[in-house]
Structure 1
Amino acid sequence: MAEYRIDELARLADTTVRNVRVYQDRGLLAPPRREGRVGIYSEAHLARLRLIGQLLRRGYTFANIGEMFQVWERGGDLSDILGFESAIGDAWSDEIADYLTLGDLRELFGKGVNPRTVKRALDLGVIERDGLRFRVPSPRLLHAGVELVRMGMTVGSVLDIAENLRDKVGHVAEHMTRLVADHIIAEYAPGTVLRTEDPAEVAEVIRKVRPLAQQAVDAVLAQEMANQLTHVMGEHFADAMELLDRERDRVPAPPPAPGART
């Protein structure tokens, strides 16, 4: 289970450290676990923070949100509630973020690292600023980019792939999540707030959905990559055959050998 200090928690929730403290003071966010003088936050805190932010953006007040949380928590088992919120906020990957300097990026990607490509990578979330260095949320994604550049692709083209993936897979994830959420809401909270006796069961449903979603995406991606690769290579070889035919038509026939019959 991931753990965060307050500055990292605020960044991941797209808010500020000051807001985190305000939410705690108003009772909307549970206090962190303490290790000496340092507060340690969990995925449950992250999920709650993101939910607070979404409700605030929709125009609800602190009082409205606090009332809803009170209804949600009233009579519920705290460990079940935290388990439910943790299931929502858990990272869907076992990756551990890495940290690189600008020099490291240049060593990995070469001359393709410049102010424009760095900004674009930041905008896409491939890297994140962390003081004088960069946080890499997904080292696997970065490694794939490094290998593609080594194979001859430009950094710009690799970022095009990342942007396209973020866009297309993002739409797929949204559609899948809404369908699953609609099922859960219809089953456990028809027309009202989730019943407090159900969070442990709902958390288990959410945790089961994760590997199923990843398996489905992997399977469809593998099928489509095979289909598209066959299509692209077929076009390539068809073009090559046409070029060979044109070159053959342009080359004059060799003169007959001396003494050969005509």
Structure 2
Amino acid sequence: MTGGPEYTIDELARAADSTVRSVRVYHERGVLPPPEVRGRTGYYGAEHLNRVRTISRLLDRGIKLNGIKELLAAFDRGDDLGDLLGVPESDQLPREVGDDQAVVTATDLQQRFAEVPNGFARVVTAGVFEPVDATTYRIADADLASLLDRLELAGVPIAAGLGEVERLKADCDRIARRVVDLVREHAWGAFSNSDRTAADIADFSARVDTLRVVPGHTAPGLLNRLIDRQLAQDVEISAVLNPDS
């Protein structure tokens, strides 16, 4: 393990929103590589964290550990998932299913992210795609999938685009956690000390609704203004975009 964050088994479980017991089961079932042992303590890295998150998401989608083991072993070996899963060539193209959800084969997805380290696992962990079954995936978050496509169209390499998707989602998650903190600090206290009548519940719900939607309403305009400001401060870029200024 070279550089990057390190986790004990307790820290790894917390970071992945999992449990120590689950991590140990993943070891026992052969779906999680062993840690680096120094002294009597095992240390895990970022790849272990991504792997645990991926396993959790796949389990949530109904894929059993035995199937996950086969998939992850194939990723690690660099095997062709189409051969592993018996996906015929006629099924290699995206298909459409109900509600216009685009469906792709696991092989398609692996090939798209073949040049990205742990790309297949990362794009699933990021919540862009989710498994339908062991051979088929669909878009899980249309906004993130569209962002990834638009970044590619703008000439951003797929690895950099996926990294940006991961960072943006992490930034949004931090904002969401701060909103919940505001609810706890400035709305929940008053409600928890009330009689919890219908009027109290309605007042609490109204406060939560306000705190919940304000960031989403404010962020787009603010973000655009800040991007414009940063572009204007880059002398070379600004000279091309605003030649008369």
Length-normalised TM-score, structure 2: 0.47
| Larger relative contact order (Cα-Cα within 8 Å, sequence gap ≥ 6) | 1
Bigger radius of gyration among the two = 1
Length-normalised TM-score, structure 1: 0.45
